[in-house]
């Protein structure tokens, strides 16, 4: 089965074609980072308009890359949530219309399920069951995964997601949007231990997260210690260490609670090299394994949507002719496969 996947949940337009036998055949991505940089964050109306301009040309480019035409596509998958309602409607409308015109089934895909399953696109995919850490600009969640659609939420952020905290702290340090990757790069020049940030909610039981306080702690530290380049790097290092340590502590607790030996990290922040190294060391000591997608598949992309859609289409899941999206869509609401 060849599935066309369309991702338009926020500020990246992704289109890919996945073949259940041959693997990924094409992957096209357009990022709106430059469009939103002047505003310091995503402007929903601008994002929607840009998706309108880019989605169809990217579909045409993906078909060319794969050497296919519309008659070779067996199904269409599109992100239906969570995300920005206007942006989601662009991909859902295009995807559902194409499926109707091509007389193939369509399936609405959960954006976070796409992220969760993205490591399945790699040569060494994880086996069920595993603990998944979904960590991005909008979500920080720990999930027990025993199969596709068999998800149990173990813990989540009660305020800012980890990626959001990265971006907000980067802004305090005067870095451009999106600031998370720039903060991590700055942290590489930082001195370990000059500043020590708290590890929030690790001094109590439970698997929930809280990162808004770290942003406030960073703001106070910047105000009290100045903003020369080395001090900024040292603060960035302390902030990143605090987030990474907190995520690792909670992952260890989740693994202890479930008894699982495999850990999957997914979402934009999973591309962070410090986080990957920390979790790899932890899992090596535990005699377990950690899995993640290549960096290009950590951020929003069409490949993960095409793959997740293919899995569900093969099991007979499909959308009706109505076009609907869910800006808020709990992962636990998905039916099992």
Q: Which residues sit in the known binding site?
A: 111, 115, 134-138, 167, 180, 272, 300
How far is CA 334 from its chain centroid? 18
Q: Which residues are annotated as a binding site for Fe cation?
A: 111, 115, 300
Closest CA to 91 of 104, 78, 102: 78
Closest CA to 325 of 95, 160, 143: 95
- CB–CB of 47/33 below 8 Å? no
* Rounded distance between C-alpha atoms, residue 90 and residue 50, angstroms: 10
Cα diameter, the chain: 64
Q: Which residues are annotated as a binding site for substrate?
A: 134-138, 167, 180, 272
CA separation, residue 43 to residues 11, 35, 174, 306 (Å): 9, 9, 20, 26
Q: How many CB atoms lie within 10 A of CB 97?
A: 13
Q: Is the peptide bond before 178 cis (omega within 30 degrees of 0)?
A: yes
The DSSP code for 334 is S
């Amino acid at each position: 089965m060849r599935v066309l996947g369309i991702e338009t949940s926020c500020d990246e337009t992704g289109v890919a074609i996945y073949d259940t036998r041959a693997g990924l055949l094409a992957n096209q991505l357009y990022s709106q980072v430059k469009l939103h940089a002047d505003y310091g964050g995503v402007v929903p109306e601008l994002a929607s308009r840009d998706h309108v301009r880019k989605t169809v040309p990217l579909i045409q480019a993906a078909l060319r890359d794969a050497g296919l035409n519309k008659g070779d596509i067996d199904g269409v998958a599109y992100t239906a949530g969570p995300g920005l309602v206007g942006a989601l409607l662009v991909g859902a409308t295009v995807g559902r219309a194409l499926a109707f015109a091509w007389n193939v089934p369509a399936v609405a895909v959960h954006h976070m399920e796409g992220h969760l399953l993205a490591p399945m696109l790699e040569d060494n995919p994880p086996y069920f069951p595993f603990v998944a850490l979904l960590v991005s600009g909008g979500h920080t969640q720990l999930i027990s995964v025993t199969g596709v659609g068999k998800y149990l939420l173990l813990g989540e952020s009660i305020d800012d997601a980890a990626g959001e905290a990265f971006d907000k702290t980067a802004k305090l340090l005067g870095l451009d949007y999106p600031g998370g990757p720039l903060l991590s790069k700055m942290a590489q020049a930082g001195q370990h231990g000059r500043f020590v940030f708290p590890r929030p909610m690790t001094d109590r039981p439970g698997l929930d997260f809280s990162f808004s306080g770290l942003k406030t702690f960073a703001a106070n530290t910047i105000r009290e210690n100045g903003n020369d380049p080395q001090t900024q790097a040292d603060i960035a290092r302390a902030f990143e260490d605090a987030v990474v340590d907190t995520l690792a502590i909670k992952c260890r607790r989740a693994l202890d609670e479930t008894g699982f030996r495999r850990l999957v990290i997914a979402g934009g922040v999973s591309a962070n090299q410090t986080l990957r190294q920390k979790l790899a060391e932890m899992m090596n000591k535990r005699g377990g394994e950690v899995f993640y997608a290549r960096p290009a598949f950590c951020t929003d992309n069409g490949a993960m949507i095409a793959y997740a859609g293919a899995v569900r289409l093969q099991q007979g899941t499909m959308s009706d002719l109505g076009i609907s999206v869910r800006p808020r869509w709990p992962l636990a609401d998905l039916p099992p496969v």
